């Protein structure tokens, strides 16, 4: 046998349940790990956390000023907030740029992996939800999956997104990053 035949035989096993669900979940976990490590390497995480905390404090101060009655104290606080606003905007821009760096680097490779796997799996269910979600959300049938014996079979892309949400949050948390902010 040649290399391509061996590779095809190995992939054919991975395209059948339950291996297909585990394979997609594993690929998703590896990609999440790569993205998390890239975030740690390309971003000054402590600096971004400091910025996020400063912005949070500034917004709390802003909300407090908005709730205050019209007094000289409020005017003074609003003036202070307006003086700090350009610095807060610069921090927000820097945070957004820091979040985008790893995504921009990995966007094309992630799209290639996603497209390759989408072509391998097509509209074949890769994972089965053990309940009939299509009875409650009738529009899911044919959109994110299809009815199968024993529940509802998710198509590749819907299982990829569902497992990606969990693996992304778990890997960020495992590396000490906040799952919500990414830092």
pLDDT in tens, 3-45: 778 877 777 888 888 899 999 999 999 999 999 999 999 999 9
How far, in Å, are 128, 140, 164, 167, 177 from residue 100 at the CA level?
Answer: 34, 32, 18, 19, 16
Query: What pLDDT, on the 0 to 100 scale, is given for residue 88?
Result: 95
| Residues 43/102, Cβ–Cβ less than 8 Å | yes
Rounded to whole angstroms, the Cα distance separating 140 from 149 reads 16
Residue-averaged pLDDT of the chain: 90
Query: What pLDDT, on the 0 to 100 scale, is given for residue 1?
Result: 55
pLDDT cut 90: percent of the chain above it? 56
| Low-confidence residues in the chain, pLDDT < 50 | none
| Residues 158/28, Cβ–Cβ less than 8 Å | no
Phi and psi at residue 145, to the nearest 5°: 180, -165
Model confidence, pTM: 0.80
DSSP state of 155: P
| Residues 125/146, Cβ–Cβ less than 8 Å | yes
Query: What pLDDT, on the 0 to 100 scale, is given for residue 72?
Result: 87
């Amino acid at each position: 046998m040649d290399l391509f035949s061996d590779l095809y035989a190995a992939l054919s096993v991975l395209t059948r349940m339950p291996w297909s669900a585990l394979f997609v979940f594993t690929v998703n976990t590896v990609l999440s790990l790569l993205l998390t490590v890239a975030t740690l390497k390309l971003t000054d995480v402590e600096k971004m956390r400091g910025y996020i905390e400063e912005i949070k404090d500034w917004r709390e101060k802003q909300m407090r000023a908005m709730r205050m009655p019209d007094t000289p104290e409020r005017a003074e606080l609003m003036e202070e907030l307006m003086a700090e606003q350009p610095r807060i905007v610069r921090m927000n821009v820097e945070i957004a740029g820091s979040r985008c760096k790893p995504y921009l680097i990995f966007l094309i490779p992630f799209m290639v992996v996603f497209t390759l796997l989408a072509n391998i799996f097509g509209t074949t269910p890769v994972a089965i939800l053990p309940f009939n979600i299509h009875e409650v959300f009738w529009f899911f049938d044919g959109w994110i999956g299809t009815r199968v014996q024993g529940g509802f079979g998710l198509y590749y892309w819907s299982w990829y997104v569902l497992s990606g949400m969990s693996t992304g949050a778990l890997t960020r948390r495992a590396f000490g990053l906040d799952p919500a902010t990414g830092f």
